[in-house]
Amino acid sequence: MSKLFRRWGSLHAKLLRTILASFVAGIAVAAVILLFVVNNITRTNMIDGLSVTAKIIANRSAASLIFIDQQSAKANLASTKGRQSIEHLCLYDAVGFLFAGFSTNNIELLCEETTTPVSDVSVSSLAGKILVVIPVIEQSELLGHLTLEANTRNLEKDQRVLSAILLLSLFVSLIVAYILGSRLVKRSLVPLEALYNTSSIIAKNTLSEERAEKISNDEVGRLVDVFNLMLNNLASENKALIYSETRFRTLSENAPIGVFLKNEKGEYEYTNSRWSEITGLDSSNSDSFTSFIDGEDRGKYKIAMDSVLECVHTEVIEYRFQNPNIGSRMLMEYMTPVDDHVGRKCFIGSLLDVTELKVAQFELEKLAFYDPLTQLPNRRFFRDHLELAIVRAQKEGKKIAMYMTDLDDFKKVNDSLGHDVGDELLIKIANRLRGTLFEGDVVSRMGGDEFMILLDDVEDPTRLDSASQRLIEALQATVTSGTQSVQVSGSVGMAIYPTDACTPDELIRFADMALYNAKELGGNHVSYYSHELDLKIKARVRLEQKLRQALIEEKLEVYIQPQYHAQTRKLIWGEALVRWRDREDGMISPEMFIHLAEETGLIYQVGDFVFDRVLVLLSENGEQLSALGMQGIAVNLSAKQFYAPKFAEVIAGKFKAAGVEPSLIEFEITESMVMDDIDDAISVMESLRRLGCRLSIDDFGTGYSSLSYLKRFPITSLKIDRSFIKDIPEDKNDIEISCAIIALAHSLGLSVVAEGVETDEQANLLASYDCEFLQGFYFDRPMPISELLERAGKG
């Protein structure tokens, strides 16, 4: 049926139908016209014939009417016998009475008995009949009239025959037209058919190389050309598309990021393999994607999707994704709206696993603001927080307190128990400090063993005291490792906003000053910033500036205090002691500025100055010194100098440059200096000894006096501290200590120097205890070099 319909509806059928319809219409019109014309002509001919016959009969009937001869009239009428079409002839007289009648072919005569007289000829045709009425006139006198009635049967019969002939010829021509038309249409449709076949092949396989054959050069031929050109263009576009698609796929499959295409409902239509790796899902379960998004982030994800569609823009969203196959990950998704080939809204995008990045970022943030060891906020965080706290306190008219703490002897823990124990201690202290705080307070690690604490609202002064107490207690601990244990305590300095300082920097600085003061007081101490402290610190600052200036202006001097042989009382050695004579303040004691110089680093310059001066003395005035019996000079070293990188090398260079024998120098170091890092200290000592210098421990007896360490030190002598000498002989304890030190030194093969000898009695006693050398005001005060040389001159 459909085939039939298709054929019925085909162009072929349509064309054929049109041709046939036009043909039939043409022929039909021609036939109708022909029929009409032929009919008209025959009818006219017939009427003319009947009129002529009626006229002849009428003429012949005149005599019969004049002579009222009905017989002849009848005969006359009957003369028409044989004329098949004539049916009735009726002759009426002048008044309209029937005179005679005649009917042919044995038909019953149908003449009216009377009629109205007629003077004009008339012809009328009615329902298959023709009626001719003609007056009978003789010499202008109306004698009567004749009616002749004829049937048109013959006429109609002719017509029917003609129609049949026409119909037949129409039918024959139709068949001929069909055959010819069909052939014509078929022939002209061949190229179109070919076009159709090619199109069918291309429709099934767009990549087919098939092209339409050009059969003619007519319009269809041109259509074939354009069609083939179009196919070629399509083919090359297709190839480009396939190439682009292949490229995209390769790119996407090898991309280090997840790539996807999903529809409006969130159903995935394409995902690359990296996407599957990231999500742990594949095409079979990709549509359950959102159910793996962390519950808290799911809403956010939905909003982002809606926003992409509504606002037609790219959204970037980060969310947590939990798939048991891959664990908990942090993903970052870029979504861009696109229309697909059928105009549906879709999302195209990429997916990144940013878990490691986030962790790194988090770690980085932590590093930036937190101390990795104690997990406390670091200095930077604290500084920012302090700034905010000050702004808030200012607004609310509140006070805040800033504490700064520092462990006393932390270095000792590190050195004697190891850095791991030191770290553990810091963590412990950090936790304890944290435990002392209230809400709003902050503790942070400054670095090393220093902590800063900010108390938020300290209107009540008792709170400050109790906080200070709690902090001091938190800093006290006993650290044990193996058999060794070290007792630690801490110092605390405090300053208050806005009483003491108004800016974060000032507040930190003042708390630091107070801490410094607490340390100065011996540690395990709380010190509040005060005006006096400020003055003290300002004085210190002033002193520091003056010392700098003094170094620039070379206002320092070196004095020498001789040392004597206890037995012979002969000058044998000397100690170089620095002196500073200030224009305003007069002579400033080394006790006042050496410590400051150590803290500020100026000690390097001071130390260099003293050592260089001593070298000059030795190289230039060697003879005078020998004359005095001075075999060498002791030089005091501070910890910073001693631990300075390549100290021994620098010293060696100086000896060489000055041409001085290193054996002429003894370096004095203190126990506290070397106990901080024994191994390091021993290596420096050894390198100094290798140069040929002597080494002594100064102020011996005030520090550790540990035999076990002393044994390892490559030293040449001990100097008994002045504090043990000054009360000899009254203080028996001091005598015992001095004797013990002398015995200890001798047992280690070291010589002993007693310093601070002020009396003859002391000198004699020490000599009797076998102390080799004596130094003190009893013999000489420290003197300017000039004075010493003068003495040599006096010899």
Is 670 in contact with 698 (CB distance < 8 Å)? Answer: yes
What's the CA gap between 713 and 710, in Å, rounded?
5
Query: 3-state SS of 23-46?
Result: HHHHHHHHHHHHHHHHHHHHHHHH
CB under 5 to 8 A by kind: which of ligand C2E, Ca ion, none does 396 bind?
none
Residues in CB range of 561: below 8 A, 6 or more apart = 574, 575, 577, 775, 780, 781, 782, 783
Q: Which of 602, 610, 660, 695 binds ligand C2E (CB under 6 A)?
A: 610
| Nearest distance from C-beta of residue 609 to ligand C2E, angstroms | 8
User: Residue 560's beta-bridge partner residues?
Assistant: 576, 783
Selection from 336, 332, 329, 352 nearest residue 275 by Cα: 352
Q: Which of 346, 421, 474, 594 binds ligand C2E (CB under 6 A)?
A: 594
Cβ distance to ligand C2E smaller for residue 227 or 773: 773
Q: Which of 698, 720, 752, 772 binds ligand C2E (CB under 6 A)?
A: 698
Q: What is the DSSP string of 262-311?
A: EETTS-EEEE-HHHHHHHS--TTTGGGGGGGB-HHHHHHHHHHHHHHHHH
Q: Which of 263, 499, 589, 747 binds ligand C2E (CB under 6 A)?
A: 589
Alpha-carbon separation of residue 474 from 161, 442, 467 (angstroms): 141, 15, 10
Identify the residue whose tokens are 């002033």. 542
CB under 5 to 8 A by kind: which of Ca ion, ligand C2E, none does 590 bind?
ligand C2E
Which residues lie near Ca ion (CB under 5 A)?
636, 668, 698-699
H helices of 705-731, where? 707-712, 722-725
CB under 5 to 8 A by kind: which of Ca ion, ligand C2E, none does 630 bind?
none
Cβ distance to ligand C2E smaller for residue 325 or 786: 786
Write the DSSP symbol of residue 664: G
Q: Does 491 bind ligand C2E (CB under 6 A)?
A: no
Identify the residue whose tokens are 């000198």. 763
Q: Does 562 bind ligand C2E (CB under 6 A)?
A: no
Selection from 292, 267, 297 nearest residue 281 by Cα: 292
CB under 5 to 8 A by kind: which of Ca ion, ligand C2E, none does 777 bind?
ligand C2E
Burial environment of residue 668 by CB neighbours within 10 A (0 to 12, 13 to 18, 19 or more) = buried
Cβ distance to ligand C2E smaller for residue 346 or 618: 618
Instruction: End-to-end CA distance of the chain: give it in Å, rounded.
Output: 151
In the shown chain, the binding pattern of residues 723 to 762 toward ligand C2E, with x for contact by CB under 6 A and - for none, equals --------------------------------xxxx----
Cβ distance to ligand C2E smaller for residue 315 or 755: 755
Q: Which of 231, 477, 492, 577 binds ligand C2E (CB under 6 A)?
A: 577
Residues in CB range of 96: below 8 A, 6 or more apart = 114, 115, 116, 117
Q: Does 252 bind ligand C2E (CB under 6 A)?
A: no
Q: Does 258 bind ligand C2E (CB under 6 A)?
A: no
| Nearest distance from C-beta of residue 719 to Ca ion, angstroms | 5
Q: Does 561 bind ligand C2E (CB under 6 A)?
A: yes
Cβ distance to Ca ion smaller for residue 409 or 666: 666
Which stretch, 43-51, 365-373, 588-596, 684-692, contacts ligand C2E (CB under 6 A)? Answer: 588-596
What's the CA gap between 711 and 749, in Å, rounded?
10
Q: Does 695 bind ligand C2E (CB under 6 A)?
A: no
Q: Which of 353, 699, 734, 772 binds ligand C2E (CB under 6 A)?
A: 699
Apex 53 CA angle, 48 and 57, nearest 5: 145
Q: Does 785 bind ligand C2E (CB under 6 A)?
A: no
CB under 5 to 8 A by kind: which of Ca ion, ligand C2E, none does 297 bind?
none
Identify the residue whose tokens are 């303040």. 585
| Nearest distance from C-beta of residue 680 to ligand C2E, angstroms | 19
Q: Does 777 bind ligand C2E (CB under 6 A)?
A: yes
Q: How many residues bind ligand C2E (CB under 6 A)?
A: 24
Which stretch, 131-139, 477-485, 543-551, 584-592, contacts ligand C2E (CB under 6 A)? Answer: 584-592
Is 443 in contact with 376 (CB distance < 8 Å)? Answer: yes
Cβ distance to ligand C2E smaller for residue 336 or 716: 716
Peptide bond into 498 cis (omega under 30): yes
Is 406 in contact with 450 (CB distance < 8 Å)? Answer: yes
CB under 5 to 8 A by kind: which of Ca ion, ligand C2E, none does 561 bind?
ligand C2E
Strands 477-481 and 450-455: unpaired
Cβ distance to ligand C2E smaller for residue 64 or 696: 696
Cβ distance to Ca ion smaller for residue 178 or 609: 609
Map the footprint of ligand C2E across residues 632-691, applying CB under 6 A: 636-638
What's the CA gap between 554 and 586, in Å, rounded?
15
Query: What are the residues binding ligand C2E (CB under 6 A)?
Result: 561, 576-578, 589-591, 594, 607, 610, 636-638, 698-699, 722, 755-758, 775-777, 782
